[in-house]
Amino acid sequence: MGSQKVLCFNSKLAKNKPENIVNRDTTCPFCDTEKLTNVIDRKGSIIWLENKYPTLKDTYQTIIIETDQCHSELSEYKQTHLRDLFRFTFEKWFEMQNSGKYKSVILYKNHGPLSGGTIRHPHMQIVGLNKMDYKNKIRMEHFNGETIDQDGKVSLIISDTPLVGFTELNVKMDENDHINEIEQMSKYIQTCTHFLLNHIRCNSYNLFFYKIDEHIYVKIMPRFVTSPLFLGYSIPQMSDHKNDIIKKMKKLYFRN
């Protein structure tokens, strides 16, 4: 039996969805924690709940509210909060995968006006896909490239065959013994988001998480207006500044 190829979007539900990334006057639904409904679990200021506006059919949509600081950002979190956030989020992601209820489970994050997100308050999304396996279209070459830094079983890689284009950064980790490695992975993710937001002309990014065989991959994807070559022909582009970016990241964040 073939896998579902298109997700159906519920436009009626989407109409009532609050949005405050462009319109700053709208009150933030994630700050008003008293009014949150269908909370599944929480740890301190980190809250896992069902998405109030589940616009995608054949899915189970959940949200991780990362912090109670509305205008904070992942690149600014203290190490302890960063570690707690990723331990909690990965635990829930694995829990949904292991439940056997979904064909696959995606974990991702939107940040900034070009990311596709609608709420400014820092959050991630865990979505169970009932009939679709996200891994079908992903090829390993999309995570390959030059290693910028490595710590044990966790490495930070810049794509030389990007999925979409330009400075795509990847973090790869061996899933076994993941408790210790999640901390290193979260540090690399934070470094990448900090670099994108502060050292190249980029105000938006996505994080995409993949679990393939015994590995976990994270793609830290800078967002710009999408290239027409990619939209029309699936042709990704590579920046000719790749070597400068590697040098700059090593100098800024790593001592080699």
CB of 144 to Zn ion, least distance (A): 38
In 88-181, beta strands by DSSP E = 104-111, 123-129, 145-151, 154-159, 169-174
Residue 62 or 170: the one with the smaller Cβ distance to Zn ion is 62
Query: H/E/C letters for each residue in 165-204?
Result: ECCCEEEEEECCCHHHHHHHHHHHHHHHHHHHHHHCCCCC
**Beta bridge partner(s), residue 41:** 48
CB of 33 to Zn ion, least distance (A): 9
CB of 30 to Zn ion, least distance (A): 5
CB of 45 to Zn ion, least distance (A): 11
Contact 118, 18 (CB under 8 A): yes
Residue 121 or 178: the one with the smaller Cβ distance to Zn ion is 121
Residue 76 or 91: the one with the smaller Cβ distance to Zn ion is 76
Q: By the criterion CB under 5 A, which residues form the site for Zn ion?
A: 28, 30-31, 70, 121
CB of 65 to Zn ion, least distance (A): 8
Residue 30 or 205: the one with the smaller Cβ distance to Zn ion is 30
Residue 30 or 188: the one with the smaller Cβ distance to Zn ion is 30
Contact 167, 222 (CB under 8 A): yes
* Residue 144: φ, ψ to 5°: -85, 155
Nearest Cα residue to 216 out of 136, 153, 158: 153
Please enumerate in sequence order all residues whose Cβ is within 8 A of that of 110, keeping only pairs 6 or more positions apart, or say none: 116, 117, 125, 204, 206
